[in-house]
Structure 1
């Protein structure tokens, strides 16, 4: 089974339905050869879209990934690259940052993108996201920065991450956005309840989903958890792993979510891909929602 492809929006890019999240790449302690092999194995599974951010791995993950692309440049033509900017961490790699803060100024967006392109060893990003909403963000200034990057051929498409529906609408009214990357899982349902998914469906925009498995909390042993019990029962019923079941539950939403994986183990990514061919009966989908909420629907 290969991950299918999906257009993020009416005029947006076509990405693999499962996206390989690289935020823990620095923690996986992979050699250069192992990093190259991981990218190759993802491609073999049809997972061709890779998610990054400038801050991941204390500003080191993009360089690690870029070293793999430099060593195996043919891979560049087979993948799509996503990155984010807008957060500034205190770090030994950024001594000028005196406090963790957000920066969505045009100057930072442009400078961060240039650095990201150099670190990833590519000339163009397929998608650039603003990582988190900034209380000081100027939507017109952000849109102008995006237009500058597009005109220079450095970024093809733009989106946001962790934006509220109103914040998404405000920037989308100035420049077309192709996604909002948000947290969603059976342990974090707010995007289902606060109008986030409704807003995106209205615009024909597919969300990208981070922490789809609850950061691993779904798998911590807890015999008293009704949610874990329901997931185990349904996984056995459908002949799937619990992880595949959860990914399938998420992808069944009509806003067409693209889940991100967060593991360097190819078997975990394979579980996510297997979910692309799994469809839950409506009542089973609601069994998971009921267990996640702790009560039946009204």
Structure 2
């Protein structure tokens, strides 16, 4: 499974492992290390973080485990994000939930992430969400500075539209190599609004956060609303039919559906169970027919294609 290459420089495994729920896994440092090692053994070498994950704790939990076996750093790609300010007891200086892409904040965030992760560099830094106050020139100068210092090798964005992406790219010499987006059989917005077309056009890797729709594909909840639940139930029914026919799990079908897209989507998994990661890694060998791919698409849309 190792590696997925794109012309603009993204290097990473076809499936990524996310650590946004790491604080909920209730693992000891040794258990976290064992999970990291087991992930690497499966060929999952890309690990996804953000400074705010786990109330600003998850990067440190990962770094604590990595410190037990620092040589593993050479076998992985670490992605982290910055830009969201989240009020927290762990960040008493933050007074309001907002975004910050001023140069000093980006530099301070990277330094804090490096300290927490116990690493000397970040493979790919993403701007977590677009801000209406983002000064593309200031951001570009800051990213160039971080690259020159060797603190970050590559850059990307998360949740950016095609035009927001292009604005920042127009100021940068180095290519943006990633746009991390919400992508799942339930979340089709970026399949239709040109974002994935843009990624494919520019050989940018789309990474899919919440590829299993936050677990909603397994248990619809009231907070989704009637219409949302109806969509989830339609999609789940089709997924179950395909999974039964192919003798695989639903999560494996979902990941295979994402992998089938020509833009080269890299799903970011969030479970701390190595068994689930092992299942979805095997989805790289499950090829859905066009009929089955469009069955899932049609179930989500609620109507046939035009």
TM above 0.5:
yes
Whether 2:13 is the aligned partner of 1:19: answer: no
SS at 1:133's partner residue? coil
TM-score (structure 2 length as normaliser):
0.94
1:117-266 map, 5 Å: 117-175=114-172, 176-220=175-219, 225-266=233-274
- 8 Å CA contact 1:13–1:126 kept in 2: the answer is no
- For residues 187-235 of structure 1, the C-alpha deviation after alignment (integer angstroms, 9 at most, x for no partner) is 1100001100001111011100000000000001699722111101101
Query: Quick one: distance in 2 between partners of 1:170 and 1:283?
Result: 38
- 8 Å CA contact 2:10–2:178 kept in 1: the answer is no
Query: Quick one: distance in 1 between partners of 2:138 and 2:176?
Result: 15
For 2:112, which of 111, 115, 126 is the aligned residue? 115
Whether 2:37 is the aligned partner of 1:29: answer: no
TM-score (structure 1 length as normaliser):
0.97
Query: Quick one: distance in 2 between partners of 1:46 and 1:139?
Result: 36
Partner of 1:291: 299
- 8 Å CA contact 1:81–1:127 kept in 2: the answer is yes
The gaps in structure 2 that reach 5 residues or longer are: 222-228
Query: Quick one: distance in 2 between partners of 1:79 and 1:177?
Result: 20
- For residues 131-188 of structure 1, the C-alpha deviation after alignment (integer angstroms, 9 at most, x for no partner) is 0001100011111111000000000000000001110111112221001000011111
Query: What RMSD in Å do the two structures reach over aligned CA positions?
Result: 1.3
How many pairs were matched up?
295
Query: Quick one: distance in 1 between partners of 2:134 and 2:280?
Result: 35
